[in-house]
Amino acid sequence: MGTPSRALATVLAIGCLASCQAVFTFSPLSFLRRDPSTLTADQQLAWAEEALASGDVEAVRDAYDALVVTASMSTDPAVQYTTAQLALELSGVGEVFSSLLGGLTQEGESPFSSAAEALEAVDVGLLTAAADYLDAAQSGGADLTATDYFVGGVGLIVAGAGGEDPLENLEENPNIDRADDFLNAGVAELEEDDPARLLIESFLSSS
């Protein structure tokens, strides 16, 4: 398979957030009271950005529920990408990858040796959805970061594992080729001395 960057764990630890380009058009006081399902696609993107920044789980979920509907009818890579960020925030994957990065400091053991146990805390359905949205965003021309590639690749592997240990029987994982492409693309975005690159390389060597 392929190879992980410096900012990866930090970004993942705060929910793998990435801002879209839409301009927020509502007043801060009205933000949490708005129903995003009644907004235009551009307004939903801006609303989602504010929801992610707010740390309000209910607002993030409302934004996700609204954008899922919009994403099903839109090929706009910005819609697909932002929907992925919302899914990642709700999935709980940020804390897991932050923990995995910490494992890089322990000699002699891959931080992924207990991947199955670590992923028990993650909503696999949302992680899978995020990977699919990232895949769609990339296909639509979106510029993904190294973090996006890494999370997308791992998400695809987890999804293909069907609830089993994601590092077991990788050659039989139906998503392995797409995941490999994602991870290698992520490695290509990183500097050689980037700690996040070490994380991806560790994953690739483990698999």
Beta carbons within 8 Å of 188's beta carbon, 6+ residues apart? none
Residue 131 has pLDDT above 80, yes or no: yes
Identify the CA nearest to 22 among candidates 78, 84, 86, 85.
78
Collapse the DSSP code of 18 into the 3-class scheme (helix H, G, I; strand E, B; otherwise coil) and give the result. Answer: coil
pLDDT of residue 14: 32
CB 110 within 8 A of CB 42: no
Residue 13 has pLDDT above 50, yes or no: no
Q: What is the pLDDT of residues 48-92, one digit of tens each?
A: 998 998 888 999 999 999 999 999 999 999 999 999 999 999 998
Residue 125 has pLDDT above 90, yes or no: no
- Residue 44 CA to its chain's centroid (Å): 19
Unique residue bearing structure tokens 């359905």:
125
The pLDDT-based confidence of 155 (bands split at 50, 70, 90) is confident
**Token pair for residue 181?**
């492409």
Collapse the DSSP code of 167 into the 3-class scheme (helix H, G, I; strand E, B; otherwise coil) and give the result. Answer: coil
Query: Of all helices (H) and strands (E), which one includes residue 206?
Result: helix 195-206
C-alpha distance across the termini of the chain, in Å: 7
Q: What is the pLDDT of residues 103-117, one digit of tens each?
A: 555 555 555 555 556
Beta carbons within 8 Å of 197's beta carbon, 6+ residues apart? 3, 4, 5, 6, 146, 187, 190, 191
Cα distance between residue 92 and residue 191, in whole Å: 27
Of the two residues 92 and 141, the one the predictor is more confident about is 141
CB 20 within 8 A of CB 89: no
Of the two residues 154 and 34, the one the predictor is more confident about is 154
Q: What is the pLDDT of residues 160-189, one digit of tens each?
A: 887 777 777 888 889 888 888 888 888 887
Cα distance between residue 101 and residue 158, in whole Å: 18
